[in-house]
A and B are shown apart, each in its own frame.
Chain A
């Protein structure tokens, strides 16, 4: 089984809908992250969390919210989806300051 899983893998939704993307990990890491990837822009950080009580905004947090339900689960929500949120979303985990970030397989989100 994969260490970092994301559900759903693909999602098509309509403008104005609320949507939640979920991330789970079995690596036992405290740190978790959400990124979005747009063609030609690389990956940009949306939110990150050091533990269930520590949530931090990243570079592009507007229009998004997150919830850290447990050490192993970190969800990203779009309260009212808009077309420019169409992107590939990645969750990642990290075990410590000098550790690597491990990425999930990604969720492809399309907002019509």
Chain B
């Protein structure tokens, strides 16, 4: 069965510093990969997604992620964080069979804290 691991439950970063959130997946086929962000009391917003092609994916809010098949990873990065980036971040892998979208398997999330 597919699974997603986000090794870091909490990460604290100073404002203006760079950020990398880790994500590893286990999936038998070519994965469809996503990063979502959830601000306190809010729903989930898509940051970026990878389906195929260029393994470096650009997203919204200055985020990017790189798909590395050899490492089964899809790490999220941002060169300079802002206080408004404080949130919960979820990595997810898409389940697809028979041409349909069967749902997403999510990691447990990484809580990002921004220090002034």
Assuming the A-B contacts A43-B106, A45-B105, A48-B103, are A97 and B42 also in contact, with contact meaning beta carbons closer than 8 angstroms in the complex?
no
Contacts of A84 in B (CB 8 A): none
Q: Tell yes or no: A94 within 8 A of B by CB.
A: yes
Closest to B49 in A: A100
Majority DSSP secondary structure for residues of B touching A: strand
Interface size on A, residues (CB 8 A): 27
Give Cα A40–Cα B51 distance, bound, in whole angstroms. 27
Considering residues B43, B90, B92, B108, which has the most beta carbons from chain A within 10 angstroms of its beta carbon? Answer: B43
> Which one, B4, B46, B90, contacts A100 given CB within 8 A?
B46
A35-48 vs B, CB cutoff 8 Å, 1 = contact: the mask equals 10000111111001
Bound together, the chains give a CA A100 to CA B82 distance in angstroms of 26
A48–B102 CB distance below 8 A = yes
Stretch at the interface among A15-23, A69-77, A102-110: A102-110
Interface residues of A in 55-86 (CB under 8 A from B): 56, 58-59
A-B contact pairs, 24 of them (CB 8 A): A40-B108, A41-B108, A42-B4, A42-B90, A42-B106, A42-B108, A43-B92, A43-B106, A44-B106, A45-B104, A48-B102, A56-B102, A59-B105, A90-B43, A97-B96, A98-B32, A99-B101, A100-B34, A100-B49, A101-B101, A102-B46, A103-B45, A104-B43, A105-B42
Point out residues on A near B: beta carbons under 8 Å: 31, 33, 35, 40-45, 48, 50, 56, 58-59, 90, 94, 96-106
Which 8 interchain pairs have the tightest Cβ spacing?
Answer: A42-B106, A45-B103, A103-B44, A42-B108, A43-B106, A105-B43, A103-B43, A94-B101
